[in-house]
Amino acid sequence: MLRIKGFFTNSAGILASRITGFARDFTTASILGANIYTDIFFVAFKLPNMLRHIFAEGAFSQAFMPGFAAARFKGRFAMQVFLTLLAIIALLSLVVTLFAEATTAAIAWGFDASTRELAAPLVAINFYYLNFIFVATFLAALLQYRKHFAVPVFSTSLLNLTMIAALLLARDREAAEIVYALSYAVLVGGALQVLIHIMAVRRLRLWPLLIGGIKKKRDTREDTDRFRKSFIPAMFGASTIHISAFVDTVLASFLVAGSISYLYYANRIFQLPLALFAIAVSMALFPVIARAIAQKERAQALAFLERSFWLLLFLLSGAMVGGMMLSEGIIWLLFERGAFERADTLVSGGVLFWYMVGLVPFGLARIFSLWLYSHHQQARAAKIAGWSLGVNVIFSLALIGPMGAQGLALASSIGGVVLLVLSLNAFGWQQFWGMIRLKWLLLLAGVLVIEGALITLFKAAVGYDTLF
């Protein structure tokens, strides 16, 4: 019962975050459109946001939770990990501040000198968001250990709300001033996330654990060594889809102005079903599988995985078909207003189409990677992620010329297919084929055919093809 409650809490929180995120994005599109200033802001925000997913949320949670559960002196272990990583992030933030223009050049190779000069201060400001979000992530892990999910998943909406407020307050100013307002709003949103986590930790009376971890000198070298060995490969293994998006941003900086924004808007839509379905399912599935394997209940772990596989396959396949067939319409509905024009819709719609090709592979690869993490095979998962990323980069370089931003999205999807195939190979093809049920495949095919027919009728009824 608790797992069901946790799953729905996670899904509701993710949905709230994505809805407010879309509100933020179409407010940004309406006020700023797709131009050099939006490109500058998205580059500045991309780096801390990517590192948040890789460093703070994905890898940290995967390595810290089992380590914390197994640690003999939990408070001491938690504080040693927290203070060490916080010091590293703070030092990295200082380096980015001191070498902001060099950092900008490293993440946006195609920007000329004047554009880099405009972007550098924003890169430095936005990077400090990583400090706030790491503190929030650490506190969230403690809350989740105590089976409290609401604050961690719902608090992400605070960032979106502060950015929307900044846009509305600065909407009548010059574009350069608006992107500065957005950047400072990012820091305010991060601070609010930390504050609400502190309130929850205090309410659940977890402070004695943390204070005791500072005061009491305990030997936790074995636990921290185990965390470090798990964290480093997990950090890379959790990064594939985010590094892929980052590579897209770097390469898109060589294209016409607005290309980075097209990729950003399309990727935001692609991330919605991925987060709402794949991430929510995996958050609920991971502790269940890990516990079953630890108790040597392999058949039960496989049964949980099989049910999650079919659930995700149905949900993601339906979202993929709908997203591909209605890509321009979705962009039009969410973003085409104000400074975001029809030409922007058409290009962004094409980018979304090719991103959606990779929805099912990326989503399914996520749950099969949990099998590797549960068996403490983080290094193998990292190697798989590395091969996927390498394929993505190769196809990005090959397709950017003939297809532009759309080629980058297609390359990302090809990398997702490679990620799934290699994850299944590590999982075991015999085990995978044992999960396949003909009746479910036939039902899925029927559902997708009906969905496609209904969308085709809808497009004909509204004159969709004449609009786009």
Higher-confidence position of 66 and 183? 183
Give 223's Cβ-side CA count (13 Å radius). 21
DSSP 349-397: HHHHHHHHTTHHHHHHHHHHHHHHHHTT-HHHHHHHHHHHHHHHHHHHH
Torsion from C-alpha of 255, 257, 260, 265, nearest 10 degrees = -130
Q: At what angle do helices 221-237 and 359-374 cross, to 10 degrees?
A: 160
Distance CA 134, CA 193 (A): 10
Mean pLDDT across 10-17: 80
pLDDT band at 215 (very low <50, low <70, confident <90, very high): low
Q: Please, are residues 221 and 80 in contact by the beta-carbon 8 Å criterion? A: no
For the segment 293-332, what is each residue's pLDDT rounded down to a tens digit? Answer: 867 888 888 998 999 999 999 999 999 999 999 999 999 9
Nearest to 321 by CA among 462, 410, 450: 450
Q: Where are the domains of the chain?
A: 1-233, 239-468
pLDDT of residue 225: 82
What percentage of the chain reaches a pLDDT higher than 90?
Answer: 43
pTM of the predicted protein model: 0.74
pLDDT in tens, 433-467: 999 999 999 999 999 999 999 999 999 988 887 77
CA nearest neighbour of 131 among 177, 186, 170: 186
Half-sphere CA count of 330, side-chain side, radius 13 A: 25
Tell me the pLDDT of the chain averaged across its residues: 86
**pLDDT higher at 337 or 168:** 168
pLDDT tens sequence across 46-94: 778 777 766 655 678 777 776 776 777 788 888 888 999 999 999 999 9
pLDDT confidence bin for 1, thresholds 50/70/90: very low
- The angle formed by the CA atoms of residues 436, 278 and 62, to the nearest 5 degrees, is 110
d(CA 370, CA 96): 33
Spatial neighbors of 154 by CB under 8 A, at least 6 apart, are 12, 13, 16, 17
CB contact at 8 A, 273 and 280: no
Lowest mean pLDDT among 110-114, 196-200, 400-404, 417-421: 110-114
| 393 class by beta-carbon count within 10 Å (0-12 exposed, 13-18 middle, 19+ buried) | middle
Per-residue pLDDT tens over the stretch 82-97: 999 999 999 999 999 9
**What is the percentage of the chain residues whose pLDDT exceeds 70?**
92
Express each pLDDT in 234-288 by its tens digit: 777 666 666 777 777 778 878 877 788 888 889 889 988 988 888 878 777 776 7
The reported pLDDT for the residue numbered 110 is 76
Q: For residue 77, which of 197, 202, 221, 215 has the smallest C-alpha distance?
A: 221
Q: Work out the burial of residue 374: count CB atoms within 10 Å of its CB; fewer than 13 is exposed, 13-18 middle, 19 or more buried.
A: buried
Are the C-beta atoms of residues 327 and 352 closer than 8 Å to each other? yes
Q: Which two tokens stand for residue 457?
A: 């009728």
Q: Assess whether pLDDT exceeds 80 at residue 209.
A: no
In angstroms, rounded to a whole number, what is the distance separating the alpha carbons of residues 114 and 108? Answer: 13
Identity at 461, one-letter amino acid code: A
**Which pLDDT score, from 0 to 100, does residue 278 have?**
86
Kindly list the distances between the CA atom of residue 141 and the CA atoms of 76, 292, 352, in Å, as whole numbers in the listed order: 15, 21, 33
Residue-level pLDDT at 141: 81
Q: What is the pLDDT of residue 247?
A: 77
Per-residue pLDDT at 237: 67
